[in-house]
């Protein structure tokens, strides 16, 4: 897994300064477009251009099952993961509709459903038949983790072949908020009860049970949770590992990344802990309603673009934020300067 630590190029400082200078010359008070200015300036540096664009977007959703679902931590049975994969494959999910709206190629990747299924539209890149129940043993072997990380890497290779300018990763896996909460607690040191939310919409009683399950699992594996990769191996999910691999490799290839909600942000947290140099390539789409997401974003010291009370996952919140990034680029590229508009500013 040496590729995970391969060096990441720093966004071009010269293009960053040029873009920042152009923002000061546009017909508006300096800084008045707020975050829209920051998006354009950062993209200019990432893309090494004076005119950044995000017209070619790639959406990959990674799906896998979780053994921890056996502990009764979700409102839905495990079979829903497979049923949703079928829904993705026929274009019926929210992320399908939103991806179509922004004209983005969409793919669904089986990284580890409990039972393999055959669908023409499905990319099969499996690390195993679901993770093990991490309440009683490690979620995955090291070999399975490597396969899942590589599944994310290969998704980026497909995206780059299409000359993609922005990558969006999504996830599907019943009980994956349990895994994400466990990972977040292990990395941040925050209390499990602070990071454990309703997920698929469970009751307060079930949230308390979910928190208890996570706490006991972390205690069980405590001596092994001494590195980001070990945390991923012991309490993670195959689709979370795929996102980690995708984020790291995308940054290594100079591709901008838009992070979705809680689970995707936890994957980003892991990716940053593995290779901290990827941070400048990450944009955060929205703050979800999932309880722990705000705390993860705070720990990362980042501010998301939107807060729409969403908690769906599957990359939907990130895709919803794409038009905002596109508008930021249009404003940067097409607004007149004070000189062009013959407006006196002195």
Q: Tell me the pLDDT tens digit for each residue of 281-294.
A: 999 999 999 999 99
In the chain, CATH 1.10.1610.10 sits at 2-52+331-341
Using DSSP's 3-state secondary structure scheme, residue 58 falls into strand
pLDDT band at 267 (very low <50, low <70, confident <90, very high): very high
pLDDT of residue 344: 87
C-alpha span between 96 and 73 (Å, rounded): 27
DSSP string, 27-51: SS-TTTTTHHHHHHHHHHHHHTSSS
Q: Which residues pair with 57 in a beta bridge?
A: 166
pLDDT band at 72 (very low <50, low <70, confident <90, very high): very high
pLDDT of residue 200: 84
DSSP string, 282-323: EEE-B--SSTTHHHHHHHHT---SB-------TTHHHHHHHH
Q: Please tell me the least confidently modeled range out of 21-25, 196-200, 215-219.
A: 196-200
Annotated catalytic residue, options 171, 239, 290, 314? 314
In the chain, CATH 3.40.50.10210 sits at 57-322
Instruction: Report whether pLDDT(274) > 90.
Output: yes
pLDDT single digits (tens) 115-156: 999 999 999 999 999 999 999 999 999 999 999 999 999 999
Percentage of the chain beyond pLDDT 90 is: 97
Instruction: Report whether pLDDT(346) > 80.
Output: no
CA 152, distance to chain mean position in Å, is 11
pLDDT single digits (tens) 151-174: 999 999 999 999 999 999 999 999
pLDDT band at 1 (very low <50, low <70, confident <90, very high): confident
CATH assignment, 2-52+331-341:
1.10.1610.10
Instruction: Report whether pLDDT(270) > 80.
Output: yes
**CB-based contact 156:167 (threshold 8 Å):** yes
Q: Where are the beta strands (DSSP E) in the chain?
A: 57-64, 106-112, 122-124, 166-172, 256-259, 282-284
C-alpha span between 324 and 318 (Å, rounded): 10
Burial class of residue 249 (count of CB atoms within 10 Å of its CB; 0-12, 13-18, 19+): buried
How much is the average pLDDT of 318-340?
98
Using DSSP's 3-state secondary structure scheme, residue 141 falls into coil
Instruction: Report whether pLDDT(183) > 90.
Output: yes
Identify the architecture of domain 57-322 in CATH: 3-Layer(aba) Sandwich (3.40)
CA 201, distance to chain mean position in Å, is 21
* Averaged pLDDT score across all residues of the chain: 97
37 is annotated as an active-site residue:
no
Instruction: Report whether pLDDT(106) > 80.
Output: yes
pLDDT band at 345 (very low <50, low <70, confident <90, very high): confident
**pTM score, whole prediction:** 0.97
């Amino acid at each position: 897994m040496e590729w995970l630590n391969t060096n990441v190029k720093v966004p071009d400082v010269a293009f960053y300064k040029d873009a920042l200078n152009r923002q000061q010359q546009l017909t508006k008070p300096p800084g008045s477009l707020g975050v829209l200015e920051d998006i354009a300036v950062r993209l200019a540096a990432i893309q090494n251009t004076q005119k950044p664009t995000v017209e070619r977007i790639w959406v990959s959703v990674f799906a896998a099952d979780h053994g921890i679902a056996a502990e009764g931590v979700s409102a839905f049975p495990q079979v829903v993961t497979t049923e949703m994969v079928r829904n993705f494959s026929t274009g019926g999910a929210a992320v399908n509709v939103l991806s179509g709206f922004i004209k983005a190629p969409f793919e669904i990747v089986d990284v580890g459903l409990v039972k393999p299924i055959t669908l023409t539209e499905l990319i099969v890149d499996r690390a195993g038949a679901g993770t093990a129940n991490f309440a009683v043993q490690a979620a995955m072997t090291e070999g399975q983790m490597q396969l899942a990380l590589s599944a994310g890497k290969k998704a980026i290779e497909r995206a780059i072949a299409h000359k993609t300018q922005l990558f969006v990763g999504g996830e599907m896996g019943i009980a994956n908020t349990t895994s994400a909460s466990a990972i977040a607690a292990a990395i941040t040191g925050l209390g499990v009860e602070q990071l454990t939310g309703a997920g698929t919409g469970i009751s307060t009683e079930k949230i308390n049970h979910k928190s208890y399950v996570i706490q006991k699992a972390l205690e069980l594996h405590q001596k092994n949770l001494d590195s980001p990769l070990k945390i991923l191996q012991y309490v993670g999910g195959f689709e979370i590992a795929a996102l980690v691999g995708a984020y790291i490799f995308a940054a290594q290839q100079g591709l901008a990344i838009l992070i979705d909600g809680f689970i995707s942000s936890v994957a980003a947290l892991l990716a940053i802990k593995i290779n901290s140099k990827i941070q400048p390539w990450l944009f955060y789409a929205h703050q979800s309603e999932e309880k722990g997401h705000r705390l993860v974003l705070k720990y990362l010291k980042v501010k998301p673009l939107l807060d729409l009370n969403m908690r769906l996952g599957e990359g939907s919140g990130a895709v919803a934020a794409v038009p905002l990034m596109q508008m930021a680029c249009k404003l940067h590229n097409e607004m007149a300067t004070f000189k062009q508009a013959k407006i006196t500013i002195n």
